[in-house]
Structure 1
Amino acid sequence: MESVLTPEFGLQVLKLLISIAVVLGLSLVAERLSTRTAGMLSGYPLGTAITLGFIGIEISPDFAGQSAVYTLAGFSSTLALGTGYWLGGRATGIRGVINGTLGGMLAWLVASLVLAQFNFTRVTGVLVTLAAIALCMRLYRNVPETPASKTPFSWITLMARAALAAGIVFSITALAHVLPPSWAGLVAAFPVTMYPLLVILHLTQGPSAVATVIKHYPAGLGSLLCYAVVVSLSYPTIGVALGTLLGFLVATAWLAVFIPLQRRLISRRTTQLQSS
């Protein structure tokens, strides 16, 4: 028993539990509150925090900090995945999930291969993703809003969510051990929380709910950019624990300002449309 209950084993169990809790929580938000809120929270530093945090613990804070610089640009690949899924996953059921996944993964891979050819700084990484955000928000502007409907609890769905989330996190952190910081950072930007959410919603509520989440995902990426910038600066200097805490504080502060501002803009736009 002593040979099994090692610090490494405990670390892997912690990784598993955190991954499951994050994805399940986000799924419940989508099903019980709204797909718009879920789309926004998909851009909150949940999956990225898990992957960069465990990369910093398992490899080193310096390696994770260097990787976070490329994560800033890697969020563009995440946006490409969302667009590819949206374009490919128009059908319902498992066929839509497969087509959406193939389209999304192909778009993510192509975008990541292109980004890997460049040496990014914090400034250029942020600028690339800001340009991608603006492009996607314009592309999605006419996507209709579809509220999520409540679905009954299912142990099968619960286990599927858990397995998919844990599998993605374990794969990313394992790959980081054999990749350079540039590719580790790009992989760390993979949408650990959003992709399982898209699959779950697609199977339970159809492509319209998926499209709504994808539509609002770019608007939430500002907090992810804030988080990755803070982590890239703080991990090498104050360590993973304090760096993660500081990153969450800055990301949360950004959302606290951005979400009310966005609501005002949407309300004003709706009023103008109704009066015209």
Structure 2
Amino acid sequence: MEAPLILQIAKLLISVGVVLGLSMIAERVSTRVAGLLSGYPLGTAIALFFIGLELSPEFAADSAVHTLAGFTSTLALGGGYLLCGRRDGLSGVLAGTAGGLLCWLVASTLLAQADFNRISGTLTTLVAIAVFTWLYRRVPDARAVARGRFSWWALAFRSGLAAGIIFLITGLAHVVPTAWAGILAAFPVTMYPFLVILHLTHGAAPVATVIKHYPAGLGSLLWYALCVSLTYSTLGLLLGTLIGFAVATLWLLLWTRLQIWWQGRHATARA
């Protein structure tokens, strides 16, 4: 059905706000934290929620099952971007984008052929998380240095790219099967524009740091997609979304505490 104008405006404002927030965190806090938050259910939540509003909660719930496996495609996009986007500036962004999207398309096409359920979809991405975490183990951490000058052009670029991806995904959901709708919902709606912005303003090194830590944050995305696949058709979009965010936040907090404990243990052992 045709989405009301108010929904389109809300979609625009939410997508823009999330991407700008991630960019500020990378500059003011750290690229490591931004990488973890890139795995928080921000873009996926926006996509699945508006798919549920514009189509039906049942369609969004079925799509979320395939989203669980679709995060593997997102990891492939990050890997392709990291391999191809090693140069600074626009040339690096274009090469990274081309490599990332090609890897995403290949992985998505393969995943769309499978009939996933909640267990097989989750296990597929968990294996991918382990593989990519191991592959990224030697990628060095680099911090993005804050820039003092505010750029309206950067703001307009961030806004347009984030909103454009959200509108494209939710629009395609009207004409593709649930399997592809779910995979599209797993597309890094917030992370990809953030990578482009970070790459253009700070170079390839901080981008590599964000991609390196992205798999660690995917646990919260998995929990979110699993929750909404179970609750959207029974409890509705609003309550299902709130439960999904609560579970995803709890996981992210527990994972962060576990990392702090593990790093402290290793520091004590070395001392």
Alignment match of 2:245 (pick from 245, 248, 256): 248
Alignment match of 2:28 (pick from 27, 32, 44): 32
Instruction: In structure 1, list runs of 5 or more residues that go unmatched.
Output: 1-5
How far off is 1:7 after superposition? 7.4
Alignment match of 1:117 (pick from 95, 113, 118): 113
1:21-170 → structure 2 map (5 Å cutoff): 21-151=17-147, 152-170=149-167
TM-score (normalised: structure 1): 0.96
SS at match of 2:6: helix
Alignment match of 2:170 (pick from 152, 173, 187): 173
Q: Distance in 2 between matches of 1:85 and 1:261?
A: 29
For the Cα contact (< 8 Å) 2:15–2:163, is it kept in 1?
yes
Q: Distance in 2 between matches of 1:266 and 1:148?
A: 22
Number of residue pairs matched by the alignment = 269
Query: Residues 8 and 192 (structure 1 numbering): CA distance in 2 closer, same or farther, change over 3 Å?
Result: same
Query: Can you list the C-alpha shifts for 1:43-84, whole angstroms capped at 9, x where unaligned?
Result: 000000000000000000000000000000000000000000
How far off is 1:271 after superposition? 4.4
Q: Does 1:195 align with 2:192?
A: yes
Matching residue's letter, 1:177: H
Q: What value does the CA root-mean-square deviation take over the aligned residues?
A: 1.1
Query: Residues 37 and 238 (structure 1 numbering): CA distance in 2 closer, same or farther, change over 3 Å?
Result: same
Q: Distance in 2 between matches of 1:105 and 1:88?
A: 11
Instruction: In structure 2, list runs of 5 or more residues that go unmatched.
Output: none
Query: Can you list the C-alpha shifts for 1:217-272, whole angstroms capped at 9, x where unaligned?
Result: 00000000000000000000011111101100010111111111112212333444
Matching residue's letter, 1:120: F
Percent identity at matched positions?
Answer: 62
